[in-house]
Every structure is written in structure tokens, then in C-alpha cells.
């Protein structure tokens, strides 16, 4: 892999999980952003009206079998509104809780590098021009990183704070073929390498509970991910959403889903082997209540997160405890 694993434009961060003061036993995105900016920073989810090669026919039709009609942007702004209108509406809601916060403009829905460069420049620059915006987070696919877009992302990375979120979901090609991802694990590695050669932070998405995968398969994905040059991780539980091809399959022939206990233990196992400096962007996903078919226990997001905290405490463990490559600059205060 090209690049390096240091965060903050090459400055290695000294981490201190001070659990007695209420810190998590893992390195949250909130903690990272407070460390970097010295302030509360929110993500503002925007929908720029992009599509996906897995929907428009270039790779496939209809998207991945688990993907919602909004392309994972169910909680983003409305695409028919301008970037400015979306930003102001969401900012107003967030400011009810944090009046002095700053913001990351988050392009989440569909594939956000899958458009002509001029269009990408237009929407990204509009978002960066909004008051209080300190950077961008851009969700995309590893097969949608042409050279001219990579050059622009590199330039953005030199003048603002930037994450590129790269969907993987599983390292197992048989799984990716079954869910209709339209790319392989090798494609992911190539996309990751292109970004890291430009020193761009990468957050990788993984889904636990995909049909046909055992707990050993899922943990195998985690073990591989822990060895890659990624700076952030998003871990999701598989959601069966109404109106998706996966929902049709599930309703016709229900397949086993992870239990809450299985998921919590798998998450804790994963945290133990991830390097301590890897930023944890998410440990469970959100799904609109009206659209969720299964598992219904996933609606209790805070109950799940609290259960993860309790399990880590019960084990007497933390993120990175079993990581193969621990950094000397990382400290743990018990």
C-alpha cells in the first residue's frame, strides 16, 4: 500500500483512552475531531443528486441488493434542494443541541465521485463555502476514482480536512458477487492504494451479517481490514429494508440474521484487533423505522452502543489491545 498511516496531515496522534473520565474504550470520530479541531464537529449529510454505476447500467441495475432507494442516504438532505438549502436546514436542527459547533459536509447518498469533474467541483466547493464548514467527507466506490478526480481530491486534501469513505462490506468475493457489489476485493485494494498514494484519509465500510457468511468469515474480514492502510472504519449491521431485493429474498425464504449478542461480541472482537489509532466512525448503522423489516433489535441504537461499552469493560479490554502493530505513541489510562 502507498502512503502511511499517520493522521492529521502526517502528524502522529498521541491517544489517551481515559475511561475514568468517561472516554470510550475505542477511538471515536467525535474524539478524533475534537482532538483535531478543538471543538465539536458535526457531519451534515447532503444529497447532491448523484447516481451509482450499480444502478445506471454501467456495472449493474438496481444497486446492491441491500441498498435502499435513496442509496444509503436515508437521513441526508433532499436532492431536489440546493446544497445551501440542505445545509441550512440540517444545521438548524443540529444547532438546537450544539449552538457553537462546526461542520463536515458529508456527501453520503449513492456514489459521490461518479459524475463529471466539473459537477463534483461545483457541489464540493458550494459545501466548503458554507459558514462553519471545516472539511468534507465523501462516500464512494473503489471503482469510481478516475485520475482527474483523484487529482482534485488530492488538491482538496491539501487545503481542507478530508475523508473519503470507501465501500468494501466484505473481503469475500463470493459474498460481494451475491449481493451485487459489482467489484472485487482486489478492486478495493487498488482504489485504496490510489487514495493513500495521495495521503488521503480513507474510511472503510464493513457489513456484518451478510447471508452465507459465518462468524469466522466476518472476523476474517476484520483481521484483513486491521492490516490495511486505512485510517477509519465504519462497521454496520446488515439491515433488511422493505422495497429492496434483499427484502424479497428474506420474505420468500428467511435466512438467519445475527442476534444482538452475536453482533456485540463480534464488534468487541473487531475493536480488539484494530490499531488503536484507527478512527471508529460507526459501530452500528441506522435504518428508518418505517422501512426496517429485520432485525428489529437494531432500532435500539443506544442500547447496542451501551452494550458494547459494557462488554469491553467486562472483558477488561480496549481497541488495539490485540492489534499486531501497536504504536509506541499510544497510551491507555485504566
279-282 and 232-237 strand pairing = parallel
| Mean pLDDT, the chain, whole residue set | 87
Half-sphere exposure of residue 297, counting CA atoms within 13 Å on the CB side? 14
Burial class (CB in 10 A: 0-12, 13-18, 19+), 35: middle
Where does the pLDDT of residue 19 fall: very low under 50, low under 70, confident under 90, or very high at 90 and above?
A: low
CB 15 within 8 A of CB 27: yes
Give the integer Cα–Cα distance in Å for 267 and 1. 26
Q: Is the pLDDT of residue 168 over 60?
A: yes
Q: Residue 51 corresponds to which cell in the numbers above?
A: 447516481
> pLDDT tens-digit profile of 232-274?
999 999 999 998 999 999 999 999 999 999 999 999 999 999 9
Q: Is the pLDDT of residue 227 over 60?
A: yes
The 3-class SS string of 38-99 reads CCCEEEEEECCCCCCCCCECCCCECCCCCCCCCCCCCCCCCCCCCHHHHHHHHHHHHCCCCC
Mean pLDDT, rounded, for 7-13: 39
For helices 117-128 and 147-159, angle between their N-to-C axes, nearest 10 degrees: 20
Query: Measuring CA to CA, how many Å separate 328 from each of 13, 35, 275, 276?
Result: 11, 19, 12, 11
Where does the pLDDT of residue 22 fall: very low under 50, low under 70, confident under 90, or very high at 90 and above?
A: low
Give the integer Cα–Cα distance in Å for 153 and 92. 29
Give the integer Cα–Cα distance in Å for 205 and 202. 10
Q: Which residue, chain included where needed, has cell 488495539?
A: 320
Q: What is the pLDDT of residue 21?
A: 59
Give the integer Cα–Cα distance in Å for 34 and 9. 16
Domains and CATH numbers, the chain: 27-313 (3.20.20.70)
Half-sphere exposure of residue 94, counting CA atoms within 13 Å on the CB side? 18
Pick from 63-67, 183-187, 268-272: least confident: 63-67
pTM assigned to the model:
0.89
Amino acid at each position: 500500500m502507498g502512503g502511511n498511516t499517520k493522521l492529521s496531515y502526517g502528524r502522529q496522534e498521541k491517544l489517551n483512552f481515559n475511561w475514568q473520565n468517561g472516554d470510550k474504550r475505542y477511538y471515536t470520530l467525535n474524539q478524533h475531531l475534537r482532538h483535531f479541531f478543538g471543538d465539536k464537529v458535526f457531519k451534515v449529510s447532503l444529497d447532491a443528486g448523484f447516481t451509482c454505476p450499480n444502478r445506471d447500467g454501467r456495472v449493474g441495475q438496481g444497486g446492491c441488493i441491500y441498498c435502499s432507494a435513496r442509496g444509503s442516504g436515508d437521513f441526508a438532505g433532499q436532492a431536489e434542494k440546493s446544497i445551501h438549502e440542505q445545509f441550512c436546514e440540517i444545521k438548524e436542527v443540529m444547532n438546537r443541541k450544539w449552538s457553537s459547533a462546526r461542520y463536515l459536509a458529508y456527501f453520503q447518498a449513492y456514489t459521490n465521485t461518479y459524475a463529471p469533474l466539473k459537477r463534483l467541483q461545483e457541489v464540493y466547493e458550494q459545501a466548503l463555502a458554507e459558514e462553519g464548514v471545516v472539511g468534507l467527507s465523501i462516500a464512494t466506490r473503489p471503482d469510481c476514482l478516475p485520475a482527474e478526480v483523484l487529482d482534485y481530491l488530492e488538491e482538496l486534501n491539501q487545503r481542507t480536512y478530508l475523508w473519503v469513505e470507501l465501500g468494501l462490506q466484505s473481503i469475500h468475493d463470493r459474498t460481494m458477487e451475491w449481493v451485487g457489489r459489482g467489484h472485487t476485493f482486489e478492486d478495493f485494494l487498488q482504489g485504496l492504494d490510489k487514495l493513500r498514494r495521495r495521503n488521503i484519509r480513507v474510511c472503510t465500510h464493513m457489513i456484518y451479517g451478510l447471508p452465507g457468511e459465518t462468524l469466522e468469515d466476518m472476523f476474517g474480514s476484520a483481521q484483513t481490514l486491521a492490516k490495511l492502510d486505512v485510517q477509519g472504519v465504519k462497521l454496520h449491521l446488515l439491515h433488511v429494508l422493505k422495497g429492496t431485493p434483499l427484502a424479497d429474498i428474506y420474505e420468500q425464504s428467511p435466512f438467519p440474521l445475527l442476534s444482538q449478542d452475536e453482533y456485540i461480541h463480534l464488534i468487541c472482537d473487531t475493536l480488539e484487533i484494530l490499531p488503536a489509532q484507527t478512527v471508529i466512525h460507526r459501530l452500528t448503522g441506522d435504518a428508518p423505522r418505517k422501512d426496517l423489516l429485520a432485525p428489529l433489535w437494531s432500532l435500539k441504537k443506544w442500547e447496542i452502543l451501551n452494550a458494547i461499552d459494557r462488554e469491553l469493560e467486562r472483558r477488561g479490554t480496549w481497541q488495539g489491545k490485540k492489534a499486531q502493530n501497536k504504536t509506541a505513541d499510544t497510551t491507555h489510562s485504566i
